């Protein structure tokens, strides 16, 4: 072993390969293979990273659109008068989505139902009549009034990807019972 080390110049860096100490000469085939694999894997990694960031942006916009719809429906569910106050229902939805630009809120929809299972909607003007005399909701059933708020926002990806649309629409919907 001592004779093998004396043949290597003292200023050359040493590496052990297959049990022997050798001086660095040039990149071996194993090193070159590692560089090629790295060169192929790095672009795929960045594409995966960019795709997950785009997905996260869309998920974030979807969550905020749903939360804004819930805030608008929550305001409208306080009373029948507030459910009919379209401007303030939209304002409540907009105030909840302060970090989201381009949110649109449709006019709230007020609907009335009998509390029977799978009942069809009835007109809310009929719902103002006491439930015992309402033709579509016989006693002992009661009429339930709901308010529905729909929101949407358009998300544009940071980059254009072949085969995917240039815009995505995230929607939110919330239906709540109006307190009476």
pLDDT at 130: 47
In a domain, 7, yes or no: no
Question: In total, how many domains does the chain have?
Answer: 1
pLDDT at 76: 94
pLDDT at 7: 57
Q: What is the DSSP string of the chain?
A: -HHHHHTS-TTS-EEEETTEEEE--S--HHHHHHHHHHHHHHHHHHHHHHHHHHHHHHHHHHHHHHHHHHHHHHHHTT-HHHHH-HHHHHHHHHHH-TT-TT-EEPPPEEEEEESSTTPPPB-HHHHTS-TTT-TTS-TT--EEEEEEEEEEEEE--SS--TTS-S-EEEEEEEEEEPP-
In a domain, 60, yes or no: yes
Averaged over successive runs of 10 residues, the pLDDT of the chain (180 residues) comes to 54 57 59 86 92 92 95 93 92 89 92 76 59 55 88 90 89 91
In a domain, 64, yes or no: yes
In a domain, 77, yes or no: yes
pLDDT at 180: 73
pTM: 0.70
Q: Which residues of 104-130 are buried (b: 16+ CB within 10 A; e: fewer)?
A: ebbebebbbbbeeeeeeebebeebeee
In a domain, 38, yes or no: yes
Query: How far apart are the C-alpha atoms of 41 and 87, rounded to whole Å?
Result: 53
pLDDT at 133: 39
In a domain, 150, yes or no: yes
pLDDT at 131: 42
In a domain, 19, yes or no: no
In a domain, 10, yes or no: no
Boundaries of domain holding 92: 29-177
């Amino acid at each position: 072993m001592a004779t093998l080390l004396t043949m290597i110049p003292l200023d050359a860096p040493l590496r052990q390969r297959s049990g022997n100490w050798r001086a660095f000469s040039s990149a071996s085939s194993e090193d070159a293979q590692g560089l090629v694999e790295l060169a192929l894997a790095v672009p795929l990694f960045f594409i995966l990273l960019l795709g997950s960031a785009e997905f996260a942006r869309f998920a974030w916009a979807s969550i905020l659109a749903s939360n804004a719809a819930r805030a608008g429906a929550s305001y409208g569910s306080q009373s029948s008068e507030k459910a009919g106050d379209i401007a303030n229902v939209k304002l409540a939805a907009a105030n909840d989505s302060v970090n989201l630009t381009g949110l649109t809120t449709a006019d709230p929809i007020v609907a009335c139902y009998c509390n029977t299972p799978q009942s069809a909607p009835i007109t809310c003007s009929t719902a103002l009549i006491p439930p015992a005399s309402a033709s579509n909701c016989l006693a002992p059933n009661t009429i339930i009034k709901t308010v529905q708020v729909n929101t949407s926002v358009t998300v544009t990806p940071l980059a254009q990807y072949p085969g995917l649309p240039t815009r995505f629409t995230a929607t939110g919907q919330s239906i709540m019972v109006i307190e009476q």
